Structure 1
């Protein structure tokens, strides 16, 4: 069960007992080629290229590739006969890949990750990756996850992870989340700049548009990599170490 980042990372999604009856198949993730001439060359058998972005991520002036790959295994499409939530449920997982443009043409793989984008394995929660959820802005890789549940939680919102290629790896430089409780209108946002060590919290309510803003310092100087974030729906952005 995932613990959410919404409303101060405090909400817990109540799980109907029927969820336990859904048998989600295990996945063996294939290794991607070290080099390829195009985006299609990185797509393994049984997978498809769901989306791609071409932009410069390492500052050399050439467009690199950001790829979202999704498995296409019919065995991962699960029947949910409980009547609560999506049926059938497509649990086919995704991989996030980044390949840098090479001097002589083609691309070289620098990142293959299958944990940041959560697998869609709970029928009452929408697929967390919406169209356009993976992008590049001002040379930084951004991954936005959307949360909406039709049972188990009143909370809805978005969380964006921002990574920059530095020190030979993709480091987390920004975390931004916002959430609203659909029953009460209570809202909360959290914005963290890992480069400056500043944390901004905003609390309000949709009914009166009043907000309270507080600032604090990060509890730790640690710099997280994209792989270290792991499951993007469970990461604690303020963990001390």
Structure 2
């Protein structure tokens, strides 16, 4: 397993559970780079499928899935990774006035031998106005539910469903340090407009 760790990098967290559905304990490695004069430390997410007693196949490498050591904002924090029912869950929150809490789900896809991005739960909170929005996105079906609460506009709760079309995304494509629409095509274009209801 050490062969999949770049020189100088450290294993920050290691999980063992079945991802491939063959009852073998596969491995997920959360890696962090060495310290460099106080600079932010990058993280890597590596997913390995067990092929034998000491034989591993890398099926996922996420260079931008995990936020760096200084990318959580004043709230600070660290990624939380777990495996549930053969699905890899990555939960991260951060920000300052605008706080974003996201849980992303990835599942091994035998046809491609890769970790497919299958869904996300995203909460956005304006800590000043207490306006908040929740986006529940199923990337397999293209269905999304949006729940919004904007107290200052006297909107208690507004809920709607939205359909979207998106080609298959995999672990390698997810960039959680980017908030541009090109990086988040499963969300509506107004997902980062905090001055009113998302359209």
Q: State the TM-score, normalized to the length of structure 2.
A: 0.79
1:59 corresponds to 2:21: yes
Distance of 1:124 and 1:214 partners within structure 2: 30
In structure 2, what is the equivalent of residue 137 of structure 1? 84
In structure 2, what is the equivalent of residue 100 of structure 1? 49
The correspondence for 2:115, drawn from 152, 164, 170, is: 170
In the TM superposition, what is the alpha-carbon distance from 1:221 to its structure 2 partner?
3.9
Distance of 2:166 and 2:25 partners within structure 1: 31
- 1:181 and 1:217, CA in 2 relative to 1: closer, same or farther beyond 3 A? same
In the TM superposition, what is the alpha-carbon distance from 1:209 to its structure 2 partner?
9.4
Greater Rg over alpha carbons, structure: 1
- 1:56 and 1:74, CA in 2 relative to 1: closer, same or farther beyond 3 A? same
1:238 corresponds to 2:183: no
- 1:123 and 1:171, CA in 2 relative to 1: closer, same or farther beyond 3 A? closer
1:200 corresponds to 2:125: no
Identify the structure with bigger relative contact order (alpha carbons < 8 Å, sequence gap 6+): 1
Kept in 1: contact 2:62–2:174 (CA 8 A) = no
DSSP-derived class of the 2:144 partner: strand
Distance of 1:122 and 1:112 partners within structure 2: 19
In the TM superposition, what is the alpha-carbon distance from 1:66 to its structure 2 partner?
0.5
In structure 2, what is the equivalent of residue 115 of structure 1? 64
In the TM superposition, what is the alpha-carbon distance from 1:73 to its structure 2 partner?
2.9
More strand by share: 2
